[in-house]
Structure 1
Amino acid sequence: MAEEGTTAAPPYSEMILEAIDGLNEKTGSSKAKISKYIESKHGDLPSDHAEQISDQLTKMKDAGEIVFAKNNYMRPDPNSPAKRSRGRPPKPKEPLPEGYVAPAPKPRGRPPKAKDGLSAKLAKVAEGLPKRRGRPPNKQPKKAPAPAAGAKRGRGRPPKAKPAVADAVGA
């Protein structure tokens, strides 16, 4: 609680603007200089003073009350044009004629499936069966190759045929 004789510190936004005006630097004032200026003018500050200044500077920068350039904060130039957002600016809209009623927007996404399964199947039959994806199935049964005369073939690749070797070596 504040005593009756002392005055409470003004809001941080006012103290920050006062510091920027008091420092009056051409390129703007850094966060540290603003903090030191406020500490010198207003002695009794809360323990989280540095955090509050950072938060308030961010809020003021986002709101456009101050400008952040080259790690310095300054007041915006009143003669400078407004900052444009990213991307191409929108085209100017032409006024609509009187009595024009805009059509209802198309619903987004895929239309919902029919609740009744039978009516959906009947609709599909009436529409004609859709083509299946991929290669059509082979209707003819596969014929197994005829086995060789009495010899049963084993699994895998057959062994290489060995040439006939002469029985006599050097005869």
Structure 2
Amino acid sequence: MATEEVNKPPSLPPYPEMIFAAIAGLNESNGSNKSAISKYIESSYGDLPAGHATLLAHHLNKLKESGELVMVKNNYMRPNPNSPPRRGRGRPPKPKIPLPAGAVVSPARPRGRPPKPKDPATVAAAAEVGPVPPRPRGRPPKMARPAGAGPVKTGSGRPRGRPPKNKTPFAVVGFD
């Protein structure tokens, strides 16, 4: 038990604190790149965990996404407090106009095509007839022809296919 406490390395500050200290310590005008920050942390704090490079990259990304660090040309720097906040990708949302006090907000319109208006006369007639069975799927069957209806006439009276080409008769030329 006592040997574990003796062999335990001194506790390190959190990674964001070490990153901010490295950027302030390097004090470069264009910001500091990841390798320079890593070297500064290694030289200042000495005994680092085995996954130092992975932890550093993770915390740099988190700080960049939260806006505490700004990345310019592969260099990390603290944002200028006077600069406007950076907005995300895409079109910014429209500003919402506040409603006057006591105004009633109508519910949002539902998606899709609105239903057809129901006429009371057709609704009452449909209720008297009863429910209509749904049509079956697919093509409807051919209707049976009554007996003695005569010959079957197909189409418009022309034969099927391409019509034959008109051949002009040749005049017989004789030699005398």
Name the TM-score class by shorter chain: 0.5 to 0.7
Q: Distance in 2 between matches of 1:108 and 1:102?
A: 18
TM-score scaled to structure 2, two decimals? 0.62
Of residues 153, 166, 175, the one that matches 1:170 is 175
Q: Are the structure 2 counterparts of residues 156 and 38 from structure 1 closer, same or farther at C-alpha, using a change threshold of 3 Å?
A: same
Q: Shift in Å at residue 48 of structure 1?
A: 2.6
Q: Are the structure 2 counterparts of residues 19 and 154 from structure 1 closer, same or farther at C-alpha, using a change threshold of 3 Å?
A: closer
TM-score scaled to structure 1, two decimals? 0.64
Query: In structure 1, what is the equivalent of residue 94 of structure 2?
Result: 90
Query: In structure 1, what is the equivalent of residue 62 of structure 2?
Result: 59
Alignment map for 1:5-16 (pairs within 5 Å): 6-16=9-19
Q: Distance in 1 between matches of 2:51 and 2:168?
A: 93
Q: Could you tell me the percent identity over the aligned residues?
A: 45
Query: In structure 2, what is the equivalent of residue 144 of structure 1?
Result: 157
Of residues 152, 163, 166, the one that matches 1:157 is 163
Structure 2: any 5+ residue segments left out of the alignment? 117-122, 128-153
Q: Shift in Å at residue 18 of structure 1?
A: 1.1
Answer with 69-78 or 39-48: which moved more.
39-48
Matched residue count: 139
Q: Secondary structure at the match of 1:73?
A: strand
Q: Distance in 2 between matches of 1:156 and 1:103?
A: 66
Alignment map for 1:17-96 (pairs within 5 Å): 17-85=20-88, 86-87=90-91, 90-91=94-95, 93-94=97-98, 96=99
